[in-house]
């Protein structure tokens, strides 16, 4: 029984921790892109990267206040969306997919290259305390909770983690509210019509390119916010955190929860990180394999779950079966 | 055929076009669309090469022609879904060269597609409401505040409801577009196009793949459109339909307008018959299949009907863009619509 509680505790801790917030935000962004507009963005991690570095460079290198850094992160992801969207959104959907996955990798290599080191810290990234107050210092100074551990029973948080968790989930709720307002409006209806058939939308007088661009920017900014959340909760960023698989984790989160649903990405992120952490703990306790193979094994386990989900519940946990059976 | 002609009262469009000479490129009394020297090539193939064409306001004009004549390409060019190599065209006072498709629609020229585009995962009602133009809630910031668009949304819903009743689809307002049958999707697409409140509707094969009962109902809706101040241009292969509802017929072949005129005049036009069943249709030898070497001589080959002088018209009247053979084109003469003097 104690073993079960330990496993569950690890899962729950991870599911409500800042990492789950990061992936919930990234997946909500992808939901705007893929779930509602039908845009195939395979480079969400690129938006996370520019968001995180936008914040870190502004605050740590240029020694600006934290709020300026947040604005810089949002502007950086907007700019990336414009750069990616302008040449590709008039073309077929696959061109955006190819450009985004390539752009995310290009960004990672540029940010870790030696010429960029004065701004990005090269392969070692930007530790939060570099320059001025650094971004975690401002962040921690805002923390209203005195030092210590908070929680009940087996569920406890340090004061910094509690602070990040509360702010993070508040942001997620706010974002969910905004996305809900947008998607139930006529604007959201146009996005969905573009997902179904953009020529039909065009024939009805909708400026498809402008709507796709707005959706790409909105989802990209949400990706950027995920990146900023990552930078703040980890108190450091390095380019090699932003590997392409992060995008696919975010897709996994979205599809598990249910694409084109309001709560899908949030539920998906909770579930994803619960599974990852509890499977890891279970593998450690059962002692069936050397610790080095546990990391890949827990991912394989999530992969199997995803395959099963696709086979038996392709619409995700919250999706609409009725919509799913329709082709195209 | 005679009684069909007498029972049918001439439409306003037909009356307006009564004195227009049936020759390609002829000026119309009140044109809504004027096309000049529009040309579009795909590599070496000239898909569309229209020298001059005018379409009468308030009339139902049908665009016919064999497969590959360039009808759909012409539609795409007119509505901004494709760009011509050269040429200009004006719609209702607007120069449409280099105008994007969505702006063409906002000027009032709305099209439907040959392959129906019902938005599968939107309900019938959402499909309809999408068609309304000038929606305040379609701007991203305004959409966040329901107070800005709720009243307009209610008006749009009311209008959509009326149209659905007119199209007898009001009972399926909450079904998803993808759950409708092929014919219902055609109806929905047409009704949705009307939500734009267009001055001209371009229908690309509205009856294709629709069962005969629904065809009748679709037909009635198309015939109704001029009474709502709409001009209609439609592509159709079913010649019965074309003869029944058009005020004017434009014939395309190999990208060119080869004939235009009232339905009766076009059906009798020698060039049109040539275009449909090939030049030298009097010479039937080219339709006679050569048996494969060693194949048994089939009875069908020997039973080819003797060529008759006016079978081209019969083929045409039968909707026969098919080149299967002369024997199939000849139906009972009393079923043919007027046109053969």
- Helix (H) and strand (E) counts in chain B: 14, 10
Of A178, A187, A200, the CB nearest to B139: A187
Beta-carbon neighbour count of residue B99 at 10 Å?
17
The token pair that represents B110 in the structure block: 């709305």
User: Chain A: nearest CA to B192, how far in angstroms?
Assistant: 8
| Residue A304's CATH number | 1.10.3470
- Quote the minimal CA–CA distance from A205 to chain B in Å: 4
Q: What crossing angle do the helices spanning A264-286 and A294-312 adopt, rounded to 10°?
A: 140
B107: closest chain A residue by CA: A205
Residues B263 and B238: their CA atoms lie apart, in Å, by 13
For domain B2-118+181-267, give the CATH number: 3.40.50.300
pLDDT at B334 over 50: no
CB contact under 8 A, B129 and A189: yes
Q: How far is B121 from chain A (nearest CA, A)?
A: 6
Q: Which two tokens stand for residue B202?
A: 């371009």
Q: Residue A156 forms beta bridges with which residues?
A: A151
Report the 10 Å Cβ neighbour count for A106.
13
Interface residue of B75, B102, B106, B175 to substitute, partner A, most A CBs within 10 Å = B102
Q: By C-alpha distance, which of A299, A255, A265 is closest to A279?
A: A299
Residue with tokens 């990061």: A22
> Which of B110, B130, B150, B192 is the best mutation test for A, with the most CBs of A within 10 A?
B130
Q: Chain A partners of B110 at a C-beta cutoff of 8 Å? A: 203-205
User: Which residues, including other chains, have CB under 8 Å from residue A246's CB and lie 6 or more apart?
Assistant: A26, A44, A45, A48
Under 8 Å CB-to-CB from A256, ≥6 apart: which residues? A267, A268, A271, A272, A305, A306, A309, A316, A317
Mark out chain B residues that contact chain A at CB-CB < 8 A: 79, 81, 100-103, 105-106, 110-113, 117, 119-122, 126, 129-131, 133, 135-140, 142-144, 146, 149, 153, 176-179, 192-193, 195-196
Q: What are B111-160's pLDDT values in tens digits? A: 999 888 889 999 999 999 999 999 999 999 999 999 999 999 999 999 99
pLDDT tens column, A261-273:
999 999 999 999 9
pLDDT (tens digit per residue) in A188-202: 999 999 999 999 999
Q: What is residue A160's three-state secondary structure?
A: helix
Give the confidence band of B320 by pLDDT, cuts at 50, 70, 90: very low
Q: Can you give the residue range of the structural domain that contains A245?
A: 2-324
Q: In chain B, what residues touch A205 (CB-CB under 8 Å)?
A: 102-103, 105-106, 110, 133, 196
Residues of A in contact with B149 (CB under 8 A): 185-186
Helix residue ranges per DSSP H, B167-238? 182-195, 212-224
For chain B, which residues make up each domain, given as ranges? 2-118+181-267, 119-179
Is B121 close to A203, i.e. CB distance below 8 A?
Answer: no
Total domains present in chain A: 1
Q: Which of A142-156, A181-195, B224-238 has the highest average model confidence (pLDDT)? A: A181-195
- Computed over its alpha carbons, how large is the radius of gyration of chain B? 22
Q: How far apart are CA A267 and CA A23, in angstroms?
A: 11
Proportion of chain A above pLDDT 70, given as a percent:
96
* Closest partner CB to A185 (pick from B106, B112, B137): B137
Q: Looking at the DSSP assignment, which residues form a beta bridge with residue B33?
A: B55, B91
Residue B143 C-alpha, separation from nearest chain A C-alpha, in angstroms: 6
Task: Please name the member of A206, A207, A323 whose beta carbon is closest to the beta carbon of B176.
Answer: A323
pLDDT digits (tens, 9 = 90+) for B15-70: 888 888 888 889 999 999 999 999 999 988 999 999 999 999 999 999 999 888 99
Share of chain B above pLDDT 70, in %: 78
């Amino acid at each position: 029984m104690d073993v079960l509680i330990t496993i569950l505790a690890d899962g729950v801790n991870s599911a409500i921790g800042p990492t789950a917030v990061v992936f919930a935000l990234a997946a909500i962004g992808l939901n705007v892109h893929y779930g509602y507009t039908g845009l195939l963005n395979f480079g969400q991690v690129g938006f996370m990267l520019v968001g995180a570095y936008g914040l870190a460079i502004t605050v740590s290198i240029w020694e600006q206040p934290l709020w300026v850094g947040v604005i810089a992160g949002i502007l950086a992801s907007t700019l990336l969306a414009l750069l990616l969207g302008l040449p590709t959104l008039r073309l077929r959907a696959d061109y955006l997919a190819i450009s985004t996955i390539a752009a995310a990798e290009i960004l990672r290599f540029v940010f870790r290259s030696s010429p960029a080191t004065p701004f990005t810290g090269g392969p070692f990234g930007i530790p939060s305390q570099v320059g001025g107050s650094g971004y975690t210092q401002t962040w921690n100074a805002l923390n209203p909770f005195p030092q210590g551990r908070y929680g009940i029973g087996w569920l406890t948080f340090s004061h910094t983690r509690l602070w990040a968790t509360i702010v993070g989930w508040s942001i997620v709720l706010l974002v969910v509210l905004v996305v809900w307002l947008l998607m139930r409006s006529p604007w959201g209806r146009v996005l969905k019509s573009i997902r179904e058939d953009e020529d039909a939308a065009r024939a009805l007088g909708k400026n498809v390119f402008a709507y796709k661009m707005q959706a790409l920017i909105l989802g990209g900014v949400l990706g950027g916010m995920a990146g900023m959340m990552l930078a703040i909760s980890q108190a450091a960023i390095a380019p090699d955190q932003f590997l392409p698989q992060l995008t696919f984790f975010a897709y996994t989160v979205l599809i598990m929860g249910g694409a084109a649903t309001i709560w899908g990405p949030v539920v998906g992120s909770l579930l994803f990180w619960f599974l990852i952490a509890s499977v890891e703990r279970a593998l450690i306790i059962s002692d069936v394999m050397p610790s080095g193979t546990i990391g890949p094994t827990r991912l394989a386990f999530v992969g199997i779950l995803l395959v099963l989900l696709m086979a038996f519940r392709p619409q995700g946990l919250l999706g609409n079966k009725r919509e799913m059976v329709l082709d195209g | 055929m005679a009684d069909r002609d007498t029972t049918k009262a001439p439409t306003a469009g037909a009356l307006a076009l009564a004195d227009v000479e049936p020759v390609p490129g002829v000026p119309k009394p009140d044109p809504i669309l004027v096309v000049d020297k529009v040309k579009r090539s795909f590599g070496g193939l000239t898909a569309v090469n229209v020298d001059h064409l005018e379409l009468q306001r308030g009339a139902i004009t049908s665009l016919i022609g064999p497969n590959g004549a360039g009808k759909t390409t012409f539609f795409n060019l007119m509505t901004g879904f494709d760009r011509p190599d050269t040429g200009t065209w004006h719609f209702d006072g607007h120069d449409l060269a280099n105008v994007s498709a969505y702006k063409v629609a906002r000027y009032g020229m709305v099209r439907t597609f040959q392959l129906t585009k019902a938005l599968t995962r939107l309900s019938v009602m959402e499909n309809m409401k999408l068609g309304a133009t000038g929606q305040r809630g379609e701007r991203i910031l305004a959409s966040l505040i329901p107070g800005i668009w709720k009243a307009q949304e209610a008006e749009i819903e009311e209008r959509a409801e009326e149209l659905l009743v007119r199209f007898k689809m009001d009972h399926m307002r909450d079904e998803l577009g993808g759950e409708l049958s092929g014919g219902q999707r055609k109806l929905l697409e047409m009704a949705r196009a009307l939500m734009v409140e267009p001055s001209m509707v371009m229908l690309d094969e509205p009856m294709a793949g629709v069962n005969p009962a629904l065809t009748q109902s679709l037909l009635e809706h198309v015939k109704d459109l001029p009474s709502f101040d709409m001009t209609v241009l439609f592509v159709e292969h079913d010649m019965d339909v074309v003869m029944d509802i058009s005020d004017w017929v434009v014939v395309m072949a190999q990208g060119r307008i080869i004939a235009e005129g009232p339905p009766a005049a076009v059906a009798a036009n020698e060039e049109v018959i040539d275009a449909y069943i090939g030049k030298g249709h009097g010479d039937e030898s080219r339709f006679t299949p050569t048996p494969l070497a060693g194949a048994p001589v089939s009875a069908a080959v020997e039973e080819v009907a003797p060529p008759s002088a006016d079978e081209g018209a019969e083929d045409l009247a039968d909707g026969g863009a098919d080149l299967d053979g002369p024997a199939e084109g000849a139906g009972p003469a009393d079923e043919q619509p007027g046109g053969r003097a």
